[in-house]
Structure 1
Amino acid sequence: MKKAVILFIIFLMILGAGIAEHFFVHKTFDDFNERIGKIEAALQNDDVDSALSYAEDLQNFWAKKRKLVEAISYCQDARQVNVILGELTGSLRCEDSDNAFSKIESLYQLIQNIRDMLDFNAIDII
């Protein structure tokens, strides 16, 4: 009986951690996508200065969140985000909107891949 209680407690802890991870991952990457959307909207309006400001804000946001994302699970793609953000910022500084749009699309795809890898679902328990 004692072992069953201990196993049940461990199961609840794992389940609780998974649920917390799920909400953290979804909130973080929803915020990330929203910020990418602001950059894209600014570029579509030919407002490169605002796009650059949003990109720098996104870099600061990711610098804080990346440590937690990597603590959840090692993910090589999470490290790649820094590179693409740097390329995006560099493109905006050079006012190369075409390349910036390319980097934005890369970020959308990469962030979706990371989100899918880190997302907690029933298959993770099994």
Structure 2
Amino acid sequence: MPSLVTGFLVDKIGRAVMAIASAITLLVSGILAAIPTDDSMVVPITALVLLGLGWNFGLISGTAILVDATPRSTQAQGSVDVLIALSGVRRRLICNVVAHSSYAALSIAGAVLSLLFIPIVIWAGINKQSKV
């Protein structure tokens, strides 16, 4: 269900705007996840919901950008889908970050990395989207 809404937003307000929204959502998620809580589950649950939402924004807007940038005759979408699946190997490396430091360190690192999306989107000039 979120992908239907995200797809609509990507088409209506633009790929670049949604990619930046993804970065900001992931940043907020990482910051919230790093906040220590006592017994309340509100902050961790909110952080996880924002993580999923930010991921969805990024995946849908990124897929739209990829489809717009490649000719229809190429297999780019399938190749990217395979790379996304293979990126699960990186999860093991990320688990080592948590094992040797803390969940808060992982959350802050993820939040900071999400900020890299914004200059990349601006630098790439993705605002020039094709008309749907």
Which TM-score band (shorter chain)?
0.3 to 0.5
TM value normalised by structure 2? 0.46
Higher relative contact order (CA 8 A, sep 6+): 2
Higher-helix-fraction structure? 1
